[in-house]
């Protein structure tokens, strides 16, 4: 078991104090009763089929200045940051030449990101699975034939986890890739759905996800579906479902998610366009400033020359 | 896979054959290759199975250990999957070479067995909040001949079917700790209820068609495949008459590099659920027959000597 | 010394064998199709699978112009022992076993025939019930023969221990897990019996010099017995001629 020795760790068998709070031990039925209020709204005031909007003002690209491209995505409390680095050549003599570029993905939770536990610094199986899923979703979209035998690194850091982190990570990565001007076939967008007791809940929060995967004796459908979609090609690049859902429900969810992704696409496009506009404006401002400085310098030079000529 | 070399013409041959619903080994797109299954092959394990699907060879051993349940689920036991890709399969797996594949398979299994309708963890509870059984499902991949996921899930279900959990004779409370006394008699135990345990079906997209049970060569020709987990029907796993339970998806995932049009995915998963149901009933039948043979001392043990 | 318990008053061992008796050995060559050679061997309850790949071009870092590089990997299935193992390979014990295997098998293989090449030998212990190393050597020999690698002689391995009948030492052949755990002497010999040479010798615990001779001669006797069994298996396998699998692959 890898262990982080640079930090002060509690005793191995220590548990979070939250374990002894009443909230922690609530049963499925109690939690289910609390899921919706009397008006059929969710805790955060959304309707069942209402997604959290990707705030265009907050979600933006070009966040990490060291990276080639980066993006920050915020869905209410879910906050994800993603950076994409330049392709670098795959070294190591035992590797064969690969005709397609490789994508390396790493998803990391911040230690304080999860409401239920503290995340360790060493990657756990959750994070590894998320990284693999992200890689699967992106490999299809990126034109890997454009950079043979090169590897591109994509890092996703989840600052706060309140449900839908895989879809948020994919959306952020799509934006960051576009920001890094990586050639792609299409724009990707991802969306998720929770199914609790036959009810379909779009864009679930962490509490709702937890409830969807909780252990229950009920025979009804429960589960979590995440889908990644290419808008113009009308193709899934990734589809993941866990839980227990019958065939009819899966088909229904597919249609719903397709519509959700289409809605998201508009927002993503807007962010991309606004980003280009902003960069263009910034560029313009920089040019003007440069011109102004040049003029100032030029006038100084003139002045000096005059002084010199005057002796 | 191991030094698999396929020329362009061979690929075209495979792809065109599948288009005509006639594969290179004479199967149709919906056929599985012959499967050999033997249970109780490892005496150190509580339950075990060896499955051979054409060239794919899987050995599963299940060990039970007493553990403390997770605080958030005091009434449930634990199950853990560990996949080991033996270097016997291909020299590429030497050292840590097989780890990526192993992680992928154990992830899929973990997801498929997560749902409560797929595997009832309550039967592993000993003392609520204090003690539970932990099942270690150890999967050893000895030879890869394509379609690992399906073969592994079949072998795991067969091994779980033969697993017996010893009865607890007495429990002494010593302060806050529980001291368990288990019965020594190996027959004084209960079998696990595994009727609903899921089976995985891989649907490999080759050309424009989906095939089940791809061979290693066919996997090589495919760019995208869909893996679905479908829960089983307990009626197939008991001699008593019980109600049929409708199969549900416990996991769906895609692997490989490529996208799918929604309609294609829909047709794939409905093709997959049919295949899973057939597999499930066939597995149930053969496991019951094997159990019958063991009870009447008719069974010969073959192991690897066949 | 934990002497008398290992032998009953009738002179039989814990599992009912006589002191000079091997456990039942059953084996099969060519269990898999993908490796160049493979074998399965059961020695009592110890079950071992071996696979051989090669000879093929050696990795650059390992290449030797003198002869073939023998690359061994010994791994134990996580369910092979009574207690569950956490890791199938990579721990100290498996690494040591890999080294020993390499030493024992290099002496049997005609290494000078294949310079700049490499032979991979992979051992998978499915069930360990004492003397897993010996079973591995025997299985690897069979797998090498199945792969058609030229050998000087059969490499056979056997363990022996010692029990006391009064003050008289009585060497025990082919030590089982229970006898191993009882904590007596355990001498492992890997030998090429037909040439009479020893390839590897390892001993644990303390044994007086005077008794060493009897113990090692008993172990050598065991190796010779095993050679007969292996030879019979190989002949039977070859007598079957083209097996079904061969026909399919052609």
- Alpha carbon distance B189, B208 (integer Å): 50
CB contact under 8 A, B257 and A251: no
CA angle B114, B266, A234 (to 5 degrees): 110
Q: What are the residues whose beta carbons fall under 8 Å from the beta carbon of C19, sequence distance 6 or more?
A: C7, C11, C13, C163, C170, C171, C172, C173
Q: How confident is the model at residue A25 (pLDDT cuts 50, 70, 90)?
A: confident
What ipTM, to 2 d.p.?
0.87
Whole-number Cα distances in Å, C19 to A138, B284, C193: 66, 46, 20
- Please list, in sequence order, all residues whose beta carbon lies within 8 angstroms of the beta carbon of residue C20, skipping any fewer than 6 positions away: C171, C173, C218, C221
Pair type for strands C117-127 and C69-76:
parallel
Q: Which of B255, B262, B269 is closest, CB to CB, to A247?
A: B269
pLDDT tier at C14, thresholds 50, 70, 90: confident
Strand partners, B60: B49, B139
- Point out the residue among A116, A233, A245 whose CB comes nearest to the CB of B249: A245
B72 touching chain A per CB within 8 A: yes
Residue A198 Rama label (left phi>0; alpha psi -120 to 50; beta): left
E strand or H helix at A297, and its extent? helix A247-310
pLDDT confidence bin for A1, thresholds 50/70/90: very low
Contact at CB, B260 and A236, closer than 8 angstroms: yes
Residue bearing tokens 């005091």? B74
Interface of A with B in 213-232 (CB under 8 A): 213, 215-217, 219, 221-223, 225, 230
Of B42, B87, B304, the CB nearest to C79: B42
DSSP state of B223: S
Q: How far apart are the first and last CA of chain B?
A: 25
Before B265, cis peptide (omega within 30)?
Answer: no
Residues whose CB is less than 8 angstroms from the CB of residue B98 and which lie 6 or more positions away in sequence, other chains included: B84, B85, B86, B87, B89, B92, B141
Mean pLDDT for the stretch of residues B116-129:
86
Which is higher by pLDDT, A157 or A215?
Answer: A157
- List, for residues B204-235, the tens digit of each pLDDT value: 999 888 999 999 889 988 889 999 999 988 88
Residue of A209, A207, A137, A127 whose CA lies nearest to A172? A137
Stretch A85-111: mean pLDDT = 83
% helix, strand, coil for chain B, step of 5: 30, 30, 40
Write out the two tokens for B163: 């697993």
C150-160, pLDDT tens digit by residue? 999 999 999 99
What average pLDDT score do residues C204-230 get? 91
Q: Which of C24, C39, C125, C126 to mutate to test the interface with B (most CBs of B within 10 A)?
A: C126
Could you tell me where the beta strands, DSSP code E, fall in C186-245? 186-192, 197-204
How does DSSP assign C47-80, residue by residue?
EEEEEEEEEEEPPTTT--SSSPEEEEEEEE-TTS
**What radius of gyration do chain B's Cα atoms show?**
20
B264 in helix, strand or coil?
Answer: helix
Residue A262 forms contact with B (CB below 8 Å): no
Residue C142's closest CA among C245, C221, C32?
Answer: C32
Predicted TM-score (pTM) of the model is 0.90
Tell me the per-residue pLDDT of A116-174, one tens digit each, with 9 for 90 and over.
777 777 778 888 889 999 998 998 899 989 888 889 999 999 999 988 889 999 999 99
Buried/exposed code over B51-64 (b: 16+ C-beta within 10 A; e: otherwise): bbbbbbbbbbbbbb
* Residue A246 neighbours by CB distance under 10 Å: 17
Phi, psi for C209 (deg, rounded to 5):
-50, -40
Residue B297 has pLDDT above 80, yes or no: no
What is the pLDDT, as a whole number, of residue B306? 67
What CA–CA distance (Å, rounded) separates B291 from A119? 45
Output the DSSP codes for A74-125: EETTEEEEEEE---EE---TTSPP-SS-EEEEEEEE-TT--SSSPPPSS--H
Looking at residue B3, its pLDDT comes to 59
């Amino acid at each position: 078991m890898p262990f982080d020795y640079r930090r002060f760790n509690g005793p191995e068998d220590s548990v979070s104090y939250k374990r002894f709070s009443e909230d922690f031990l609530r049963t499925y039925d109690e939690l289910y009763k609390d899921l919706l209020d009397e008006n059929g709204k969710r805790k955060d005031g959304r309707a069942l089929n209402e997604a959290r909007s990707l705030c265009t003002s907050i979600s933006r690209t070009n966040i990490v200045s060291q990276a080639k491209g980066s993006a920050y995505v915020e869905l209410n409390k879910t906050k994800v940051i993603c950076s994409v680095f330049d392709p670098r050549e795959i070294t190591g003599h035992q590797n064969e030449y690969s005709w397609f570029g490789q994508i390396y993905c790493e998803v990391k939770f911040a230690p304080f990101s999860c409401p239920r536990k503290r995340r360790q610094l060493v990657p756990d199986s959750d994070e590894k699975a998320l990284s693999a899923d992200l890689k699967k979703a992106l490999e299809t979209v990126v034109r890997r034939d454009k950079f043979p035998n090169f590897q591109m690194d994509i890092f996703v850091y989840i600052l706060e986890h309140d449900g839908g982190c895989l879809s948020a990570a994919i959306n952020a990565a799509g934006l960051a890739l576009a920001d890094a001007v990586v050639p792609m076939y299409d724009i990707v967008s991802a969306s998720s759905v929770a199914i609790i007791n036959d009810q379909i809940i779009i864009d679930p929060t962490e509490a709702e996800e937890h409830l969807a995967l909780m252990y229950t004796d009920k025979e009804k459908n429960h589960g979590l579906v995440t889908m990644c979609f290419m808008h113009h090609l009308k193709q899934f690049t990734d589809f993941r479902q866990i839980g227990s859902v019958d065939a009819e429900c899966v088909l229904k969810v597919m249609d719903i998610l397709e519509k959700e992704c289409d809605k998201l696409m508009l927002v993503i496009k807007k962010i991309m366009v606004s980003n280009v506009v902003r960069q263009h404006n910034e560029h313009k401002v920089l040019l003007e400033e440069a011109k102004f400085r040049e003029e100032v310098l030029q006038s100084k030079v003139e002045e000096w020359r005059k002084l010199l000529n005057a002796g | 896979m191991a030094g698999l070399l396929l020329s362009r013409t061979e690929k075209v041959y495979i792809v065109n054959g599948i288009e005509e619903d006639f594969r290179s080994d004479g199967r149709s797109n919906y056929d599985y290759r012959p499967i050999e299954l033997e249970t109780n092959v490892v005496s150190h394990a509580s339950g075990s199975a060896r499955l051979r699907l054409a060239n794919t060879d899987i050995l599963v051993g299940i060990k039970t250990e007493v553990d403390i349940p997770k605080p958030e689920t005091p009434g449930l036991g634990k199950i853990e999957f560990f996949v080991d890709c033996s270097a016997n399969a291909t020299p590429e797996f030497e050292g840590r070479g097989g780890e990526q594949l192993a992680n992928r398979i154990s992830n899929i299994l973990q997801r498929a067995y997560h749902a409560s309708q797929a595997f009832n963890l309550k039967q592993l509870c000993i003392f609520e909040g204090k003690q539970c059984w932990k099942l270690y499902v150890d999967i050893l991949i000895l030879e890869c001949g394509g379609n690992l996921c399906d073969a592994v899930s079949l072998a795991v279900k067969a091994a779980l079917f033969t697993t017996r959990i010893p009865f607890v004779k007495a429990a002494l409370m010593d302060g806050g700790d529980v001291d368990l006394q288990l019965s020594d008699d190996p027959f004084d135990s209960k079998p696990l209820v595994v009727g609903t345990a899921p089976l995985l079906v891989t649907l490999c997209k080759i050309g424009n068609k989906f095939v089940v049970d791809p061979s290693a060569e066919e996997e090589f020709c495919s760019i995208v495949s869909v893996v679905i987990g479908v829960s089983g029907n307990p009626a197939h796993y008991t001699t008593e008459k019980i109600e049929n339970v409708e199969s549900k998806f416990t996991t769906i995932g895609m692997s490989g590099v490529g996208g799918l049009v929604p309609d294609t995915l829909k047709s794939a998963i409905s093709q997959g659920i049919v295949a899973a149901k057939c597999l499930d009933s066939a597995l149930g039948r053969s496991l019951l027959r094997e159990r019958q043979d063991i009870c009447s001392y008719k069974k010969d043990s073959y192991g690897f000597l066949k | 010394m934990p002497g008398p318990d290992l032998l009953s008053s009738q002179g039989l061992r814990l599992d009912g064998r006589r002191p000079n008796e091997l456990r039942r050995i059953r084996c099969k060559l060519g269990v898999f199709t993908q490796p160049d050679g493979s074998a399965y061997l059961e020695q009592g309850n110890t079950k071992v699978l071996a696979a051989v790949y090669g000879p093929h071009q050696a990795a650059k870092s390992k290449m030797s112009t003198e002869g073939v590089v023998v690359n061994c990997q010994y791994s134990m299935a996580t369910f092979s022992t009574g207690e569950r193992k956490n890791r199938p390979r990579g721990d100290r014990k498996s690494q040591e076993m890999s080294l020993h295997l390499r030493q024992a098998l290099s002496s049997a293989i005609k290494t000078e025939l294949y310079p700049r090449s490499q032979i991979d030998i992979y051992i998978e212990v499915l069930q360990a019930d004492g003397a897993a190393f010996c079973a591995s050597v025997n299985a690897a020999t069979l797998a090498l023969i199945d792969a058609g690698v030229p050998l000087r002689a059969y490499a056979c391995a056997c363990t022996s221990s010692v029990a006391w009948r009064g003050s008289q030492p009585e060497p025990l052949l082919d030590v089982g897990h229970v006898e191993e755990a009882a904590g007596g002497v355990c001498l492992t010999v890997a030998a090429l019996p037909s040439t009479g040479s020893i390839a590897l010798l390892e001993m644990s615990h303390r044994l007086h010099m005077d008794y060493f001779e009897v113990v090692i001669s008993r172990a050598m006797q065991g190796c010779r017995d095993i050679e007969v069994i292996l030879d019979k298996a190989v002949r039977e396998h070859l007598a079957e001629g083209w097996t079904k699998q061969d026909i399919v692959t052609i």
